[in-house]
Structure 1
Amino acid sequence: MSIIFKERSTLSPRITARFRGANLPRLYHGLHTRNSSQHFQSSFAKFATLSDMDVNVAAAAAPTLCALANYNYVYFKNTTEIKKRWRKRRWWMTSIHRNRTTITMEKQLSELVAEPSGEFHKLTRMSLADFEYLLNQISSKISKQDTQLRKAIPAQIRLAITLRYLATGDDFQSLHFLFKISPQLISNIIPEVCSALNEVLKDEIKIPSWPNEWLEIEKGFSPTLPRAIGSIDGKHIVLESPINSGSQYYNYKRTFSIVLLAVVDSQYKFIFADIGCQGRISDGGVFGNCLLWKKNAQTN
């Protein structure tokens, strides 16, 4: 700081001496954030009145500090941009993905289907008939076109990845080794398939709207649970703590989660589902906040 002021002919020796004796850490306040000279000069006099400097010293020092502020702004901006640059790829594709082809992926599913021990059901948690039904419903929405660089992931593989994720909750890294597809691509596939499933099947899960429909559900429960019209339960879906959420999603299992509340009939068919309540809320609180309870309260 003293070398800079010796080179500045506009500063008198008296002002320079006064400035050297000032509180330099306080003078340096704001250099990293204030990059506008006009804004800095206009506010520097106000800052000087709060420190041990007079207005003359502040007016003489403001241009130099503005130059320092601009220099620091350019320096830190360039340094940040260099750090943000993408590193050069060491290879185009890893060996585990290089051997992946459309034929091998389809063959993997066909081998699971051919197994008499029900390996396909263990993978997707559904029968082949249900899998093909879902595939026919959403195939046009999740299929991608081939490019000159590589073949697109088939629709049946995209659906199998999503069903495996929904059934087991495996992380993307585990699915990566199972299907030989990168975690980055899996993170795009699963939301796309889930959106397609939600769009196609949104009318499949609905609350009975007529008394006869409720009576049919009651007949299914009557042999074991007379007068029952549904079986209700909840599940904590573990997630990372949302930013600035505090303990809102922290549950009694000492994890962060949101709650899935569902009602099924005697055949395990969903008739109601609610998701999104914070994990810290009790089972009774989750049910009290769901749409099913609110509609029932309005009716009564």
Structure 2
Amino acid sequence: MTDLPLRHPVYRTVLAFDVEGSTGRNNRGKAFLREQVFQVVTAALRAWGIGERDCDAVVHRGDGVLVLVHPIDHAPKTVLLGWVVPTVRRLLDAHNRRRPEDAVRLRAVLHAGEIAHDRHGTFGETLDVAFRLLDAPEVKRALRETAAPLVLVVSDDVHRSVVRHGYAGITSREFRRAVAVEVGGSCWSGWLHEPGGSPLPRPAAPESIVSRGTDSAVGDGEWGVVGDVWLGGEVTFAGGEAAFAGGEAAFAGGGATLAGGEVTFAGGGATVAGGGAAFAGGGAPGADGVGAAPGGVVTFPSVGSPS
């Protein structure tokens, strides 16, 4: 065997997800699951300002996904634990209420360490540990025994360096040491947690998508993120005071109500019937019945459904 020189390893936070019961579905069902998991995970990351430049390419793992987050200041483990993972839970809740026949339930793992890589991809002990924890019988059993759509296991390293210190958004007493796996002759512990889906206070960084003026409307059956809150075709609000019904649109600015294509913006000085326009801060509709907020917050097409 020829010894190949190893590249320098790189530090990454490992966030991986696996679907419960995927082997019982046919190929069409598996394809659907793969797409849903990919969309929900990437939407949750975007909700907290973690984009493509902040991670290695998201890797499909058959019935799951692997995210390797770079060591950057706006994506620490505290944000992943306190905001991103609960957002995944919230998205799953919305999807499973809307499509109970296609409910998605996930196991998740958070670990960190040096990642080896070559021209074929990533590998090494850090990933071995993460996947062994993710696939541990105790984690699978914990998901089977709960009605929640998501359970998380964190490595002892993550628990010791982050969880036990009780940073904002993380309640250390909600984690229990319940997993032990062996990798390379060493024993690794894991701590189980059932993330809640309730809204959490926004951390100082990253800024919301709304504040950056990059909101987009998301239609029924699509995953997406609008400002502080996430949606899956039925739950949509941003700015804190929006109500939504009908799967028609997304908006920002506060004091907004949407039902069956009628849009009323209390703060924007305009009312639209038929879903032909959107306003924020007194803006006016553009050509072809399309309205746009002056700050680039929201745009609705004239047909009344998001593009």
**TM-score for the superposition, normalised by structure 2:** 0.26
Greater strand content: 2
Q: Which has the higher contact order (CA 8 A, sep 6+)?
A: 2
- More helix by percentage: 1
